[in-house]
Amino acid sequence: MVSVAVEVERKFLVAGDGWQQLVRDSQHFGQGYLAASENCLVRVRVGADTAWLTLKGRDMQAGSESGSVSGSISEGGLLKRFEFEYEIPVADGQQLLEQLTYASLEKTRFFLDMPEYDWTVDVFSGRYAGLVLLEIEGSGVESLDAAKLPDWVGAEVSNDPAYANANLAKK
């Protein structure tokens, strides 16, 4: 299965545990990066029974020099970019993760029962134990910008490269 979409998201630190009562599902996985450049990121993610190969476009400032938008834009705290996901056999994903990635990390993703958007909380393990991030994904920049945030949501880090998974994996 191939998923092609424009990803629009906001990312926040989590400042409380109120989200835990909203969990409807969770998945532990490892993810690693096969390539990263200014224009594209290639990631493999492996869970217990699913693996994905993902290609993401770069984040760009709104309104490129040519006046057209290609790939992705970053508006305020919002990130918008092309994302292509391909489901791959778990054995292939494991082999890619173990042998071809230059950086990797592990986390448990919790899917929250929240209206209107896709809310996920990532609880990192290993060298990032204690780091908890919220991602809110939606279909449009305007709708996500107006998202009402619960009191357990901390500082926004959408445009802070220190909290990009690819950068965390490299450390």
HSE value, Cβ hemisphere, 13 Å, CA-based, for 135: 18
Q: What is the pLDDT averaged over residues 26-43?
A: 91
102 catalytic residue (yes or no): no
Q: Which residue has the higher pLDDT, 63 or 32?
A: 32
Per-residue pLDDT tens for 79-117?
667 888 999 999 999 999 999 888 999 999 999 999 888
Q: What is the pLDDT of residue 136?
A: 92
Q: Grade residue 70 by pLDDT with cuts at 50, 70 and 90.
A: very low
Per-residue pLDDT tens for 113-162?
998 889 999 999 999 999 999 999 877 666 676 678 999 999 999 889 89
Catalytic residue selected from 33, 86, 128, 163 = 33
Q: Grade residue 73 by pLDDT with cuts at 50, 70 and 90.
A: very low
Q: What is the pLDDT of residue 150?
A: 93
**DSSP characters for 96-154?**
HHHHT-SEEEEEEEEEE--SSSEEEEEEE-GGGTT-EEEEEEES-HHHHHT----TTEE
CB 166 within 8 A of CB 41: yes
Cα–Cα distance measured from residue 49 to residue 98, given in angstroms and rounded to the nearest whole number: 16
| CATH 2.40.320.10 given to domain 2-170 | yes
Output the average pLDDT for the chain.
83
**DSSP characters for 15-58?**
-SSGGGGGEEEEEEEEEEEEEE-SSEEEEEEE-SS-EEEEEEEP
Q: Name the token pair of 149.
A: 């945030």
Continuous segment of H or E residues that includes residue 73 = strand 72-75
The model carries a pTM of 0.81
Show me where the domains of the chain are located.
2-170
